[in-house]
Amino acid sequence: MILGSANEVRAYLLSVEWLTADEPSVITELSGGVSCQVWKIVTVRGRWVLKQALPQLKVQSEWFSDVARIEREQEAMLAMYPLLDVGQVPSIVYQDKDAYLYMMTCAPEGAVTWKSQLQEGHFRTETAEAVGRMMRRMHVASRSLPMESIDSLQDMKYFDELRIDPFHNELARKYPELLGPIEDLKREVTEVGRCFVHGDFSPKNILVAGYDEVILLDYEVGHWGNPVFDLAFCIGHLVLKGIAYGREEDARRSIEALLSGYGAVPSGLMKHLGLMLLARIDGKSPVEYITNAAMMEHVSWLGKQWLLSSSKEQAREVIAQGLGVRVGHGQN
């Protein structure tokens, strides 16, 4: 049972007695990425978000994932809720395991995704630094989780389905000459468990209320792993948006601020960042905002260069050099 319309969502909420027949409500679909249906419900009693996992992701390539990942998401949210600042993790208010959905508290009115801010040209360093601090706190504080929680998060099934296969394995199939380096990076993020890793630390999953109030969403890929993945994943999006919108210098400053907030640069970051760039052009989930052929070729080239970079290279310097190269910014 997939809730595919506002009427179906309302009928469901009536059936589970979350709404009453005479209770006015406004139900609107939200952008939930490619893996879920997401709905905002507003009544006089409050505002909530309903999220339901999809078995087939909304991309051109065939890409399936077990809908039971919605349970991992809730498990991860419950684990992170007491560790991050108040409001940075939504509170779960209702669960339906049979329908693979849950409801959570809604973000404050006026909160917008960091992605939308970046797409509008607002590369605010205050926001980037706050994001870096939140990521660092999540990684460090998670090491205090009880052993039973850590053991439960060791299962990487969903990380494999939603990241390793569509990113690493897909690139290895397309670039057999890069098989060795890609396999090395895959081992680093699957065999070295150091802390809780969000796995989808993307600007689309970060809501911003003000300059430095940030909220983290979408924990379904969360697992016990290598923190370098979150940093590479997030910085990769900043690099891509800087190139796509002709804001390379702004992107560089935002990356500096994020790394300053995070407080460390893990070894091997550049290699993982290179893989992220290449995956967002040639993996199963390419970014939708880069369609210019010259730009795609440039990002692909940059990704390969960074994937093959020396571990001794300084990440900040290499990123700055890469973002110093301008290409055509017209969109097809």
C-alpha–C-alpha distance, residues 99 and 37, integer Å: 12
The verdict on 40 and 161 lying in the same domain is no
For residue 1, tell me if it sits in a domain.
no
The verdict on 61 and 168 lying in the same domain is no
C-alpha–C-alpha distance, residues 261 and 135, integer Å: 9
The verdict on 101 and 116 lying in the same domain is no
Q: Between residues 198 and 99, which one has the greater pLDDT?
A: 198
The verdict on 87 and 204 lying in the same domain is no
pLDDT(26) > 50: yes
> Pick from 105, 130, 158: which residue ends a domain?
105
The verdict on 313 and 244 lying in the same domain is yes
For residue 263, tell me if it sits in a domain.
yes
pLDDT(277) > 50: yes
Poorest-confidence range of 29-43, 67-81, 109-123, 210-224?
Answer: 29-43
The verdict on 185 and 270 lying in the same domain is yes
Which CATH number is 86's domain given? 3.30.200.20
Give residue 231's domain range.
112-322
Helix (H) / strand (E) containing 196: strand 195-197
Q: What is the mean pLDDT of the chain?
A: 90
Poorest-confidence range of 122-131, 155-164, 264-273, 315-324?
Answer: 315-324
Looking at residue 216, what is its pLDDT?
A: 97
The verdict on 174 and 272 lying in the same domain is yes
**pTM (predicted TM-score):** 0.90
Poorest-confidence range of 56-65, 139-148, 156-165?
Answer: 56-65
The verdict on 201 and 94 lying in the same domain is no
For residue 85, tell me if it sits in a domain.
yes
Number of domains in the chain: 2
Using one digit for the tens of pLDDT, what is the confidence trace for 284-320?
889 999 999 999 999 999 999 999 988 666 777 888 8
pLDDT confidence tier of residue 6, bands split at 50, 70 and 90: very high
Alpha-carbon distances of 314 from 271, 282, 307, rounded to whole Å: 11, 26, 14
> Pick from 90, 105, 120: which residue ends a domain?
105
The verdict on 254 and 120 lying in the same domain is yes
For residue 327, tell me if it sits in a domain.
no
For residue 49, tell me if it sits in a domain.
yes
Which CATH number is 139's domain given? 3.90.1200.10
> Pick from 72, 105, 138: which residue ends a domain?
105
Answer for the pair 310, 226: CB distance below 8 angstroms, yes or no: no
Looking at residue 319, what is its pLDDT?
A: 84
Alpha-carbon distances of 331 from 210, 239, 289, 291, rounded to whole Å: 30, 17, 8, 6
The verdict on 26 and 144 lying in the same domain is no
For residue 272, tell me if it sits in a domain.
yes
Looking at residue 332, what is its pLDDT?
A: 31
Poorest-confidence range of 10-14, 122-126, 137-141, 284-288?
Answer: 284-288
For residue 310, tell me if it sits in a domain.
yes
The verdict on 203 and 307 lying in the same domain is yes
C-alpha–C-alpha distance, residues 129 and 135, integer Å: 10
Using one digit for the tens of pLDDT, what is the confidence trace for 154-205?
999 999 988 999 999 999 999 999 999 999 999 999 998 999 999 999 999 9
The verdict on 93 and 133 lying in the same domain is no
pLDDT confidence tier of residue 331, bands split at 50, 70 and 90: very low
